[in-house]
Amino acid sequence: MTTDTDNETPQPQFTLAEARTRIDGIDRTIQELIAERARWAHQVGKAKGPLAAAIDYYRPEREAQVLRMVVDRNDGPLGDDVLVRLFREIMSACLAQQEPLKIGFLGPEGTFSQQAVFKHFGHSAHGLPLASIEEVFQEVEAGNADFGVVPVENSGQGTIQTTLDMFLTSSLKICGETELRVHQYLLSRTGKLEDIERVYSHPQSLAQCKTWLRANLPNAEKIAVSSNAEAARRARNADDAAAIAGASAGHVYGLKHVVIDHIEDRPDNTTRFLVIGREIFPPSGHDRTSVLVFIKDQPGALFHVLSPFAKHGISMNRIESRPSHQGHWQYAFFIDIGGHVEEDSVRQALVELEPFTTQVKVLGSYPVAVP
Ligand SMILES: C=C(O[C@@H]1C=C(C(=O)O)C=C[C@H]1O)C(=O)O
């Protein structure tokens, strides 16, 4: 029996023209099905009643379920992340038939936060670039944006404290999370490493590329600016300057030359973003809950706070302490656990925390990120 692997180059079973004819037929079917899907999504919209705005139709828990079914069905040859991206775009377009969702993010255009918006909501959402993480919270609180997307932690650099601290006072809820593989590019006007005397970037990105910079540009001045996009904007004006930024910042600001790509020190460099909104959505079946706990100043308090989760078989992914802003040396604990507040075990565990805490604030229950 001969197989494709018997020869170095597989023998084509079809001519180019035949393969293209097949593809044309498949595309026609896909297009008809996408149109049919869009009509059904519109029907779902109608079935939900006379709703006013896009946000009334949006169901993150349902979208997570749709994407998980896509992953479960996938037998290749395309990767899970590729199929998720395609279906995300289809859902985004279906939803935008009503009116696009407005999503606030830390701007300007071309930041990793904007990439996270597109990854989570698809390109049919309408992104609103804002000047700071605080402003993203404000615009969602005021209803000028339906949701916001804010960075919360990086795999190498740890927590983005501004984001956590906003939850101390904000009434907003976490409605989703998304993880973005962050690849850093050294971009310059000339594209030549030897021309570079100054490197602009956001402090987080400079930190993510520290080892690379020390080895390859030890004498260049490192200049921290407010965003990677701002870095790209500055670097395009001089031959001796470069920016560390994502590829999209290079496109947006016309900085075409990639001196070198993927200069992040850790190959698994990933940033986790939170989606913030005004309400908690129902369970998707695979959820995470974030709580903010103010612990009473008494011996063993932290131990007592953690034990109810263990007792109810609830996994804990993360615990982070921050000054509570409620008195000297008083700490608030940000805790991420598995499950949804509508589940009995989670609800019960939270009740059992009460004797040891002055306040337990549920920040949100949301679908665990789909790749
Ligand atoms: C169609 C629906 O509404 C919206 C669109 C979805 C889709 O295109 O699959 C999924 C969830 C909602 O954001 C639905 O609730 O099923």
Q: pLDDT tens digits, the chain, 371 residues: what are they?
A: 344 444 456 566 889 999 999 999 999 999 999 999 999 998 887 787 776 677 888 999 999 999 999 999 999 999 999 999 999 999 999 999 878 999 999 988 989 999 999 999 999 999 999 999 999 999 999 999 999 999 999 998 899 999 999 999 999 999 999 999 999 999 999 889 999 999 999 998 999 999 999 999 999 999 999 888 889 999 998 999 999 999 888 888 888 788 899 999 998 999 999 999 999 999 999 999 999 999 888 888 888 899 999 999 999 999 999 887 777 667 899 999 999 999 999 999 999 999 989 999 999 999 999 98
Do 256 and 226 lie in one domain? The reply is yes
Q: Is residue 1 part of a domain?
A: no
Read off the tokens for 237: 């004006």
Secondary structure class of 31 (helix, strand, coil): helix
Secondary structure class of 162 (helix, strand, coil): helix
Q: What pLDDT does 13 receive?
A: 83
Q: What pLDDT does 128 receive?
A: 97
Q: Is the distance from the beta carbon of residue 91 to the nearest atom of ligand 1 less than 6 Å? A: yes
- Owning domain of residue 291: 282-367
Do 120 and 171 lie in one domain? The reply is yes
How many other C-beta atoms lie within 10 A of the C-beta of residue 76?
7
Do 208 and 152 lie in one domain? The reply is no
Domain final position from 45, 63, 95: 95
Q: Is the distance from the beta carbon of residue 51 to the nearest atom of ligand 1 less than 6 Å? A: no
Q: Is residue 310 part of a domain?
A: yes
Q: Is residue 10 part of a domain?
A: no
Domain final position from 71, 95, 119: 95
Do 287 and 362 lie in one domain? The reply is yes
Do 47 and 110 lie in one domain? The reply is no
Phi-psi domain of 179 (left: phi exceeds 0; alpha: psi -120 through 50; beta: other): beta
Secondary structure class of 211 (helix, strand, coil): helix
Number of domains in the chain: 4
Domain final position from 211, 226, 261: 261
Q: Is the distance from the beta carbon of residue 44 to the nearest atom of ligand 1 less than 6 Å? A: yes
Query: Domain of 328: which CATH number?
Result: 3.30.70.260
What does the alpha-carbon distance between residue 154 and residue 317 come to, in Å, rounded to a whole number? 15
Q: What pLDDT does 252 receive?
A: 83
Secondary structure class of 187 (helix, strand, coil): strand
The count of C-alpha atoms lying within 13 angstroms of the C-alpha of 172, restricted to the half-sphere facing its C-beta, is 29
Could you give the angle at the alpha carbon of 58 between the alpha carbons of 57 and 64, nearest 5°? Answer: 140
Q: Is residue 2 part of a domain?
A: no
Pairing label, strands 185-188, 257-261: antiparallel
DSSP classification of residue 193? G
Q: Find, among 145, 142, 242, 134, the residue nearest to 191 by Cα.
A: 242
Q: Is residue 5 part of a domain?
A: no
Q: What pLDDT does 294 receive?
A: 92
Query: Domain of 146: which CATH number?
Result: 3.40.190.10
Query: Domain of 29: which CATH number?
Result: 1.20.59.10
Do 317 and 353 lie in one domain? The reply is yes
Q: Is the distance from the beta carbon of residue 57 to the nearest atom of ligand 1 less than 6 Å? A: yes
Nearest CA to ligand 1 atom 8: 91
Q: How far is CA 72 from CA 34, 83, 92, 329, in A?
A: 20, 11, 20, 48
For ligand 1, the distance from its centroid to the CA atom of residue 77, given in whole angstroms, is: 26
Q: How remote is the C-alpha of 16 from its chain's centroid?
A: 40
Do 318 and 243 lie in one domain? The reply is no
Could you give the angle at the alpha carbon of 54 between the alpha carbons of 48 and 56, nearest 5°? Answer: 40
Q: Is the distance from the beta carbon of residue 93 to the nearest atom of ligand 1 less than 6 Å? A: no
Do 137 and 172 lie in one domain? The reply is yes
Do 211 and 234 lie in one domain? The reply is yes
Do 162 and 233 lie in one domain? The reply is no
Q: Is residue 6 part of a domain?
A: no
Do 128 and 140 lie in one domain? The reply is yes
CA-66 nearest atom, ligand 1: 9
pTM: 0.91
DSSP classification of residue 267? T
Q: Is residue 70 part of a domain?
A: yes
Q: Is residue 21 part of a domain?
A: yes
57: which residues sit within 8 A by CB, 6+ positions away?
44, 45, 48, 51, 95, 98
Do 120 and 53 lie in one domain? The reply is no
